[in-house]
């Protein structure tokens, strides 16, 4: 499954951010739980703590993916 992400703003409407679960981040990145937690520990992926669970801002995960692609 290929998904193209476009970050160019076409209107002045504020963007609604979606919060992802760890499982959604794992699916989106095709990486395992341990890898995601290692990235969190290194500060490369920043979660939002909500009680006992972590949530991730979708646009930040998308940008992390684009940064990984650009750095190769």
Joined together, the tokens standing for residue 20 give 């992802």
- What residue has token string 């499982």? 23
Helix, coil or strand: residue 8:
coil
Between 3 and 52, whose confidence is greater? 52
The predicted model scores a pTM of 0.75
The answer to whether residue 3 scores a pLDDT higher than 70 is no
pLDDT tens for residues 53-66? 999 999 999 999 99
Give backbone dihedrals phi and psi of 28, rounded to 5 degrees, phi first: -65, -35
pLDDT tens for residues 31-45? 999 999 999 999 999
pLDDT of residue 5: 55
**Helix 22-29 and helix 33-41, axial crossing angle in degrees, nearest 10:** 100
pLDDT tier at 13, thresholds 50, 70, 90: low
Q: Where are the domains of the chain?
A: 19-70
């Amino acid at each position: 499954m290929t998904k193209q992400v476009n970050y160019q703003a076409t209107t002045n409407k504020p963007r609604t951010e979606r919060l992802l679960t760890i499982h959604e981040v794992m699916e989106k990145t095709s990486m395992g739980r341990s890898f995601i937690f290692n990235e969190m520990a290194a500060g490369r992926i920043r979660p939002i703590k909500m009680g006992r669970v972590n949530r991730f801002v979708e646009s930040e995960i998308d940008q992390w993916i684009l940064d990984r692609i650009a750095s190769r």
